[in-house]
């Protein structure tokens, strides 16, 4: 399965992501700039903030309470498309997902 990150400079990077792997883990493994995942995915840092592509918003699931609180502390103002990529687990339904890494 594939995921594509649009970087702040407008370039894109696509990588294979195994089922069950978070987009944050995949980003770190593929050296996606500005995705740190400093907390390792335990919802305590917001350093994996992304904007989910409009076509994928209904497929990534709802923002849970703790994620919602963390999104309020991101370096870039949150939008309706904001998610923490540690909370998006790859699945067949997300094959081809596109996300944008915000410019910090």
Instruction: Name which of 49, 39, 40, 43 is nearest 8 in CA terms.
Output: 49
Domain of 27? 2-100
pTM surpassing 0.85? yes
Over the chain (104 residues), the average pLDDT of each successive run of 10 is 97 98 97 92 91 97 94 92 97 98 89
Residue 95's domain is classified under what CATH number?
3.10.20.30
Which is it for the CA torsion 92, 93, 95, 99, positive or negative?
negative
pLDDT of residue 15: 98
Residue 41 to residue 4: CA distance in whole angstroms: 19
In this structure, what DSSP letter does residue 96 have?
Answer: T
Number of folded domains that form the chain: 1
């Amino acid at each position: 399965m594939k995921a594509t990150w649009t970087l702040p400079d407008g370039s894109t990077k696509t990588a294979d992501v195994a089922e069950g792997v978070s987009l944050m883990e995949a980003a770190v493994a593929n050296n996606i700039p500005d995705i740190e995942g400093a907390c390792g995915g335990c919802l305590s840092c917001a350093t994996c903030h992304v904007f989910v592509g409009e076509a994928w918003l209904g497929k990534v699931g709802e923002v849970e309470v703790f994620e919602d609180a963390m999104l309020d502390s991101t370096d870039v103002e949150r939008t309706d498309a904001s998610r923490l990529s540690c909370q998006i687990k790859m699945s067949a339904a997300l094959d081809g997902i596109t996300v944008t890494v915000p410019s910090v």
